[in-house]
């Protein structure tokens, strides 16, 4: 069970030192082994135990998130109301697991979902959709990289402080990376930029092991699904953007 959490989990192993290197973390396992030394059977047992103790609201959040990404790929405005169900629940889940960066991300998602809902719903004078899928120009790329670096630096410094002062389970650089890439992806999605999917892909890759080491196994699997959807969404948006150019 996560320290200080009301989330009823029964993990097979308990973290003693969390060093997030895209899945290679130091853990005490079933036999006090690091996770990278556990057998496939032991990792599978951890997965089954985590699934068994996943809360109902985490299931709701996961399925709402998957539906939201489906609507996003299809450029359907339902991405936002459905996505709000996901983000509000994950704010609560993230606080439970001391994932402060992820909590901040989901609060940001909530705010940006409302903003994106408005932007995607706008119509021009001919009552046609005003916002279309496009590629970023050179200036746009510079802006999004600076946007990412600004939030990464700020979140990293804040989480480093929180780790020392309050939560020893926080992983500053990992949380900051997952958060900053997500902030950038969401911002670009409200503008219907193809490049938003590149940032989503980075977020999903970072979030898979981040949630796994916190024992939110079902959520970790959820991010695997989102990673697949992100590549699918990227292909769909690239095709639409090219059609607009032609």
Q: How many CA atoms lie within 13 A of 151 on its CB side?
A: 24
- Residue 68 pLDDT: 93
- Residue 106 pLDDT: 86
- Residue 62 pLDDT: 82
- Residue 165 pLDDT: 66
Q: What is the mean pLDDT of each run of 10 residues along the chain (246 residues)?
A: 35 28 31 52 72 81 90 93 93 81 81 94 81 94 97 90 69 86 94 96 92 74 91 95 80
- Do the domain assignments include residue 177? yes
- Can you list the pairs that 166-171 forms with residues at least 24 positions away whose Cβ atoms lie under 8 Å? 167/98, 167/100, 169/2, 169/3, 169/15, 169/18, 169/97, 169/98, 169/214, 170/98, 170/99, 170/100, 170/101, 171/18, 171/19, 171/20, 171/210, 171/213
What is the domain extent for residue 63? 14-245
- Do the domain assignments include residue 27? yes
- Residue 64 pLDDT: 93
- Do the domain assignments include residue 146? yes
How many CB atoms neighbour CB 74 within 10 A?
A: 12
- Residue 232 pLDDT: 95
- Do the domain assignments include residue 1? no
CB 60 within 8 A of CB 85: yes
- Residue 15 pLDDT: 30
- Do the domain assignments include residue 7? no
- Do the domain assignments include residue 2? no
Number of domains the chain is built from: 1
């Amino acid at each position: 069970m996560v320290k200080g959490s009301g989330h009823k989990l029964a993990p097979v192993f308990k973290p003693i030192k969390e060093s997030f290197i895209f899945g290679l973390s130091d853990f005490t396992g079933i036999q006090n082994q690091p996770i990278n030394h556990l057998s496939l059977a032991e990792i599978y047992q951890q997965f089954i135990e985590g699934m068994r103790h996943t809360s109902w609201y985490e299931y709701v959040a996961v399925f709402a998130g998957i539906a939201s990404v489906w609507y996003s790929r299809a450029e359907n405005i339902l991405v936002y109301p459905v996505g709000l169900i996901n983000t509000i629940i994950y704010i609560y889940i993230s606080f439970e697991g001391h994932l402060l960066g992820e909590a901040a991300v989901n609060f940001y998602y909530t705010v940006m979902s409302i903003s994106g809902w408005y932007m995607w719903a706008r119509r021009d004078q001919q009552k046609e959709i005003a916002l279309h899928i496009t590629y970023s120009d050179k200036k746009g790329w510079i802006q999004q990289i600076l946007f990412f670096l600004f939030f990464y630096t700020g979140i990293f410094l804040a989480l480093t402080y929180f780790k020392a002062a309050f939560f020893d389970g926080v992983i500053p650089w990992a949380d900051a990376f997952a958060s900053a890439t997500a902030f950038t992806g969401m911002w670009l999605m409200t503008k219907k930029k193809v490049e938003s999917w590149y940032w989503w892909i980075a977020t999903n890759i970072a979030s898979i092991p981040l949630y796994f080491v916190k024992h939110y196994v079902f959520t970790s699997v959820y991010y695997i699904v989102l990673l697949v959807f992100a590549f699918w969404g990227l292909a769909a948006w690239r095709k639409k953007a090219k059609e607009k150019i032609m």
